[in-house]
Amino acid sequence: MRTRASILHLDLDAFFASVEQRDKPSLRGKPVIVGGVGQRGVVSTASYEARVFGVHSAMPMWEARRRCPHAAFLSGRFRAYRQASEQVMGLLRALSPRVEPLSLDEAFVDLEAAESVVELGAAGVQRVAAELKAAVTETTGGLHSSVGLGSSKFIAKLATELGKPDGLHLVEPGTEVSVIAPLPVSVLPGVGPVTAEKLIRVGLRTVGDLQAAPLADLVREVGKAHGRGLHELAHARDDRPVVPEREAKSISVEDTFETDLTDRDQLGSIIDRDARLVARRVREAALFARTVQLKIKMADFTSITRARTLDGATDRAETIAAVARELLAALDIADGVRLLGVGVSGLTDIAQEHLFDLTAGSDSHDDHLALEVPTSGSDEQKHPERVSEERRPAAWTPGADVTHNAYGPGWVWGSGLGRVTVRFETAETGVGPVRTFALDDPDLALMP
């Protein structure tokens, strides 16, 4: 275990919503909710102004609209989010060569790898962290971050949570056990709602309760491996290293539909479009994929996954789409599909022969009832092992960037009945005017 607070954790505050407020002056200081804007959409991120009304990530969008009807509901612009993320990650890598990104908006930094920093002592490290926060805001054009400092990854991340929003918090080495003792058991990594319920049922409500509980009791309630892990974390023992790079294990795109789909031609067209997005991400990562995956969720929430391993590796959209279509053809979709996903795995940096031999290698599946609401990419629900891409809007969805030959750049305020309403403003212009156009106006176009 480390004796110095040499691990830094940074989290961009309400990231997606903050980027939207940065780029849309009329939304600054107002509730903004980013996510799927359809009937079955879910919240990816809510601004702090929206959180006052009880809106949070993973909440069904209809519930968010009920709680905060006056908010701006936007579909998201992942290119803008990725650009801001790259700026921040560049600042972190300039601070230390050992940076572990967890998602677009969150990362660990090992300051032990930056001896000039860690040798400054606690006060010096805090000063460096404060300078980092200021640099993030300046470089990204106004985004704020929360930073935690601790002797382990668990403690550093916890320190970030204790300092949110826009905070800087250090947990002094030697005080970790006492700091976490009064906190609820849910602060421990690996304690989700089910585990928390089990622990609370036997009177283990706080981390302090876990510290006082015999290991045998924890093992009996949650199993041997999980019980031992919780016992270690409850005593602030966490020696996980900061891993500089996380290898993507898969790349995927998912669509949740407002109405259940049964038309195979329509689903095939969606597969083709999603395959192009997946292939683009594969090429951007300079990789090739050996396995193509198809995921569908039926109207009754039954989730079905099929996968086929190629005799080779590919980065071609045509190959990915062809395999995914074949996998769909073997499934009974008469009851309707509410979610469809196309993905690839078995990623390699070596191109292989026989890219078009689509003979079956291995087919895997898991059929089970999935009662959760499907979610798309979220800056608050982290899946570091999977790179997931949300589609750029193919229609005039709220928040999408547009340009007009006469009025310049703006964003979609809303659309319907053959018209689209646009607010013409950018991060630099201040609040701009709102104008309405016909959907087929030749002077108006979606930005790529």
CATH number, domain of 299, equals 3.30.1490.100
> How many independent structural domains does the chain possess?
4
Is 48 in the same domain as 62? yes
Is 187 in the same domain as 165? no
For residue 383, tell me if it sits in a domain. Answer: no
Domain final residue, candidates 130, 151, 174: 174
For residue 25, tell me if it sits in a domain. Answer: yes
- Backbone φ and ψ for 348, nearest 5 degrees, come out as -145, 155
pTM for the whole thing?
0.74
Catalytic residue annotation: 106
Is 169 in the same domain as 182? no
Is 18 in the same domain as 151? yes
Dist CA 317 CA 393 (whole Å) = 19
CATH number, domain of 6, equals 3.30.70.270
For residue 390, tell me if it sits in a domain. Answer: no
For residue 97, tell me if it sits in a domain. Answer: yes
Is 170 in the same domain as 186? no
Is 186 in the same domain as 218? yes
Is 65 in the same domain as 91? yes
Q: What is the pLDDT along the chain (448 residues), one digit of tens a residue?
A: 788 889 999 999 999 999 999 999 999 999 999 988 777 788 889 999 999 999 998 889 999 999 999 999 998 898 899 899 999 999 999 999 999 988 889 999 999 888 777 677 888 889 999 999 999 999 999 999 999 999 999 999 999 999 999 999 999 999 999 999 999 999 998 888 888 888 999 999 999 999 999 999 889 888 888 889 999 999 999 999 998 866 667 888 888 887 889 999 999 999 999 999 999 888 877 788 889 999 999 887 788 999 988 877 888 899 999 999 999 999 999 889 989 999 998 887 665 533 333 333 333 333 322 222 223 333 333 333 333 444 434 478 899 999 999 999 999 999 888 899 999 999 999 899 999 999 999 999 998 7
For residue 9, tell me if it sits in a domain. Answer: yes
For residue 298, tell me if it sits in a domain. Answer: yes
For residue 392, tell me if it sits in a domain. Answer: no
Find out whether 409 and 447 touch, Cβ atoms under 8 Å: yes
Before 165, cis peptide (omega within 30)?
yes
Is 229 in the same domain as 182? yes
| DSSP bridge pairs for 309 | 291
Is 277 in the same domain as 425? no
For residue 363, tell me if it sits in a domain. Answer: yes
Is 188 in the same domain as 168? no
Is 366 in the same domain as 294? yes
Domain final residue, candidates 142, 158, 174: 174
Q: What domain range includes position 191? A: 178-234
Is 38 in the same domain as 148? yes
